[in-house]
């Protein structure tokens, strides 16, 4: 299963790409402090920006990166970064995420590159990493502010859903051509739980499992969430075709009641990110039909 998960992450990140400007000014500024840090995913780059930490390298992505890193060098996509570029930047620390470690470790070990793998697999894990980075780079004030802001949001959510019935939820994680089912151990599964939903997939110790529509129909969820990654528009079309052509879906109460929702990729990533608070607001509307 780990290999299957690795493959879906491989396709996801390799489908993302764009160009950004590059220069040397940021490198010179960071050299003065002695820290030459690289973040290889968008989520990590945004976290570093919120912590006010400069970077010499950032991932190549179609997503807009923080202005702070306009002069940082692109190091390629998260799953297959440019090794020569990484080495040329002479980094003191390179950050990736634990969900990619299985696929990256051998590649980096072969080049003698030490990596720091941040655990962004849940909100709590992400906050622990933010505090750890904040402590290491003397940014505890910023780190604690990030965590406190989210905790305030969670408190508001808990108050809003107190006494409300918890809807059952099926989460589909799609990339072009296929999809998996997300468990409560996935990042989006964690958000659903915090928003007062109950995942129909239980008893698993992995983030994603293979799909079987006949079995899924037996769980008969109140809500179906469809997360599109890699090429979102193409994946949504794939989901639409699957729901049209496969007669099993029409028997789901969620389909009958019009409670099938497509998740915005910028809010609902495959790993934890700083859009978590906004994502919870969106889930509240979907799960509890809050206006």
**Interatomic CA distance for residues 104 and 235, integer angstroms:** 25
**Interatomic CA distance for residues 22 and 55, integer angstroms:** 12
- Helix axis angle for 123-136 and 140-161, nearest 10°, is 160
**Contact criterion met (CB below 8 Å) for 91 and 114:** no
pLDDT for residue 123 is more than 50: yes
Structure tokens at 76: 């390629």
Between residues 232 and 186, which one has the greater pLDDT? 186
**114-122 average pLDDT score:** 94
Burial class, 37, CB count within 10 angstroms (exposed 0-12 / middle 13-18 / buried 19+): buried
pLDDT for residue 101 is more than 90: yes
pLDDT for residue 2 is more than 90: no
**Interatomic CA distance for residues 280 and 259, integer angstroms:** 17
How does pLDDT run across 51-93, given as a tens digit for each residue? Answer: 999 999 999 998 899 999 999 999 999 989 999 999 999 999 9
pTM score, two decimals? 0.83
How does pLDDT run across 180-216, given as a tens digit for each residue? Answer: 999 999 999 999 999 999 999 988 889 999 988 889 9
Between residues 230 and 291, which one has the greater pLDDT? 230
**154-173 average pLDDT score:** 93
**Interatomic CA distance for residues 112 and 31, integer angstroms:** 22
What is the model's pLDDT at position 94? Answer: 96
Residue for token digits 């990256």? 104
pLDDT for residue 236 is more than 90: yes
Q: Confidence class of residue 43 from pLDDT cuts 50, 70 and 90?
A: very high
**Interatomic CA distance for residues 289 and 129, integer angstroms:** 33
Contacts of 254 by beta carbon, 8 Å cutoff, 6+ apart: 170, 220, 221, 222, 223, 224, 260
What is the model's pLDDT at position 291? Answer: 57
What is the model's pLDDT at position 205? Answer: 87
């Amino acid at each position: 299963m780990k290999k299957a998960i690795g493959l879906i992450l491989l396709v996801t990140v390799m489908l993302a790409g764009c160009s950004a400007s590059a220069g040397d000014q940021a490198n010179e500024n960071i050299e003065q402090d002695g820290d030459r840090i690289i973040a290889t995913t968008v989520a990590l780059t945004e976290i570093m920006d919120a912590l006010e930490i400069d970077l010499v390298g950032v991932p190549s992505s179609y997503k807009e990166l923080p202005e702070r890193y306009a002069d940082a060098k692109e190091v390629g996509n998260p799953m297959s970064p440019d090794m020569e570029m990484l080495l040329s930047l002479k980094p003191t620390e390179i950050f990736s995420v634990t969900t990619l470690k299985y696929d990256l470790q051998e590649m980096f070990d072969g080049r003698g590159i030490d990596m720091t793998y941040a655990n962004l697999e849940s909100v709590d894990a992400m906050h622990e990493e933010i505090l750890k980075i904040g402590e290491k780079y003397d940014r505890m004030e910023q780190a604690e502010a990030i965590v406190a802001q989210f905790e305030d949001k969670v408190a508001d959510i808990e108050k809003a859903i107190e006494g409300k019935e918890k809807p059952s939820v099926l989460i589909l994680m799609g990339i072009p051509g296929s999809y998996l089912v997300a468990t409560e151990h996935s990042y989006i599964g964690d958000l659903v739980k915090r928003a007062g939903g109950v995942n129909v997939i239980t008893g698993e110790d992995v983030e994603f499992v293979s799909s079987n529509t006949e079995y899924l129909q037996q769980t008969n969820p109140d809500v179906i969430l469809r997360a599109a990654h890699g090429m979102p528009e193409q994946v949504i079309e794939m989901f639409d075709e699957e729901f049209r052509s496969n007669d099993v879906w029409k028997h789901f109460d969620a389909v009958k009641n019009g409670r099938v929702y497509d998740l915005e990729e910028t809010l609902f990533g495959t790993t934890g990110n700083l859009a978590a608070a906004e994502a919870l607001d969106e889930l509240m509307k979907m799960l509890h039909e809050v206006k």
